[in-house]
Amino acid sequence: IGLGAIGSICATALQDCPDCHLQVLLDESRLERYQKAGIVFNGKRYDFDYVLSSQVVAPAQLIIVATKALQLPQVLKMIEPLVGEKTIILPLLNGISAEPILADRFGWDKVLYGFYIGNASMREGNRISFDQVGKVVFGNADNRIFSQPVSAVGQLFDRARLAYQVPSDMIFAKWQKFVINVGLNQSTALLRMDTGQICESETGIQLANALAREVIPLAQAEG
């Protein structure tokens, strides 16, 4: 669910995987538009199997949530018909709150931690370009011994040739990404500069560092 900068990367890789059965869940407001225009990813048109929640007839083995965080309350309702006893839910949202929200509804036995790091795809209308730099980072809180769900998702991504990493300490990796998002995303918005310009600017670096340091007491309060 979600065909934006991150969702399109995962969806196209899984669509090109011969033994994967991919469906893209969406709401009625997007259905007609996507069915008509499709998605053009790096010059190749993709026409996915688009479905509404009301059309789901069987649980999914894996649900990848790649929407914006503000859409998560709507996502909970949309994916509920797809969640079965053995369903794995992998959120790829920025921030640190998606996993607890999903686990509160569906249980921690079904939810993995996840995020995407690297260069997201660039989108203009239905045309998307991606330079293949990036990877999905996912797993349980502690991955020193892989669980069955983590191994299963890793095997799927191997078949789909989707780059990924399973760090031993997923919570630490998640907060590392959060520090980057807090420091750089806000700086680029405030100064109207891209990341490269921020890194070449003394003012930009000072602002990014000051914002990033705000995460430290928050992380300490969270343990």
Q: Give the pLDDT of residue 119.
A: 72
What pLDDT, on the 0 to 100 scale, is given for residue 37? 85
Model pTM greater than 0.75? yes
Give dist(CA 10, CA 178) in Å, integer.
21
Beta-bridge partners for 137: 115, 165
DSSP 8-state secondary structure symbol assigned to residue 126: T
For 97, the 3-state DSSP assignment is coil
- pLDDT the model gives residue 192: 94
Query: Average pLDDT in the 58-73 region?
Result: 95
pLDDT of residue 120: 65
> In this prediction, what percent of the chain has a pLDDT beyond 90?
78
Q: Report the mean per-residue pLDDT for the chain.
A: 93
Q: At what angle do helices 148-160 and 7-15 cross, to 10 degrees?
A: 70
Q: Determine the Cα angle at 190 with ends 189 and 191, to 5°.
A: 95
- For residues 209 and 19, the model is more confident at 209
Would you say residue 28 has pLDDT above 90?
no
Mean pLDDT, residues 68-95: 95
What would the mean pLDDT of 32-53 be, rounded to a whole number? 91
Q: What is the dihedral of CA 136, 48, 127, 42, to 10 degrees?
A: 60
H or E, element range at 124: strand 122-124
Q: pLDDT tens digit string along 175-205?
A: 999 999 999 999 999 999 988 899 999 999 9
Q: Is 52 helix (H, G, I), strand (E, B) or coil?
A: coil
Measured CA to CA, the distance from residue 48 to residue 24 in angstroms comes to 7
pLDDT category at 57 given cuts 50, 70, 90 is confident
Give which of 152, 179, 180 is closest to 166, Cα–Cα.
152
Q: Quick one: which of 135, 131, 141 has its CA closest to 111? A: 141
Secondary structure class of 54 (helix, strand, coil): helix
Evaluate if residue 218 carries a pLDDT over 70: yes
**pLDDT tens sequence across 112-161:** 999 999 876 778 888 888 888 899 999 999 999 999 999 999 999 999 99
